[in-house]
Amino acid sequence: MSGNIQLLTDTLAAAKAEGRAALIAYLPAGFPTVDGGIEAIKAVFDGGADVVEVGLPHSDPVLDGPVIQTADDIALRGGVRIADVMRTVRETHEATGKPVLVMTYWNPVDRYGVARFTAELAEAGGAGCILPDLPVQESALWREHAAKHDLATVFVVAPSSRDARLAEITAAGSGFVYAASLMGVTGTRESVGAQAQDLVERTRATGTDLPVCVGLGVSDSTQAAEVAGFADGVIVGSAFVKRMLEAPDHPTALTAIHKLATELSQGVRKQR
């Protein structure tokens, strides 16, 4: 069965045609439970997210700050498995018809088996995978299987990435490029900063046709509007997870993240 890279491509192109950036949300699978996580993703889609990244909880998430680490710990203590991640992708995609990716570190995929992981992700209707710690020069096996199943391979670039490295990454990737707005881990910040705009410009200067989407630090509609002024997509994760962690109960959490998705969706639609 084929994956949904074309749906991802079409969704990002449609946002661009509307003169706006796409809103890409991140939430971990299994948080606060598998069923609760599925409800949460549906809520952010209903609030206006164009794309959702489903996090595969990991015990040592090197890119993720304390907020997402807390959520991952809750999911892992709840017994979440890769099968639950695939179920989350399947049910949220079937319910919304929108593109759903998995964001994961490489070790769980390697242990599970690349052929098995890509086949199951495609069968679940997934659009692709974001692999923040997989070096491009070691990604041939993954990319071979991802391409076979019509799955996007999204690599992460950082402000420290040299121009030659950016060119190597954009040539190997598909779907979009994930531009980390600053050096560090995920988390909400007061300012996204000029580093992000410079990174987007340098990434585009490689000649890539891939959309460049910015993550790490965006937490409100004002910041979303700022980033939407120069990026093709705005990625928000910790702000959603933080709202859920702070809510006294699950229904309140769903209301809170739906509201945030609506606000962010309005932010990416503000005039550039």
Distance CA 229, CA 51 (A): 19
Residue 17 parent element (H or E): helix 5-17
Alpha-carbon Rg for the chain in angstroms:
17
Residue located via tokens 């949220």? 92
Q: How many residues does the chain have?
A: 272
- Residues 39, 53, 84, 232: which is the catalytic one? 53
The answer to whether 232 is a known catalytic residue is no
Element (H, E) at 53: strand 51-55
Residue in 177, 178, 51, 61 with CA at minimum distance from that of residue 126: 51
Residue with tokens 């007061």: 190
Any catalytic annotation for residue 201?
no
Cis check for the bond before 57: say yes or no (omega within 30 of 0): no
Give the span between the Cα atoms of 182 and 193, in whole angstroms: 8
Dihedrals phi, psi of 189, to nearest 5 degrees: -140, 160
Rounded to 5, what percent of the chain is helix, strand, coil? 50, 15, 35
Alpha carbon of residue 179 to chain centroid: 11
Catalytic residue among 39, 46, 60, 64: 64
Token duo for residue 18: 């509307």
Distance CA 231, CA 167 (A): 18
Which of the residues are catalytic? 53, 64
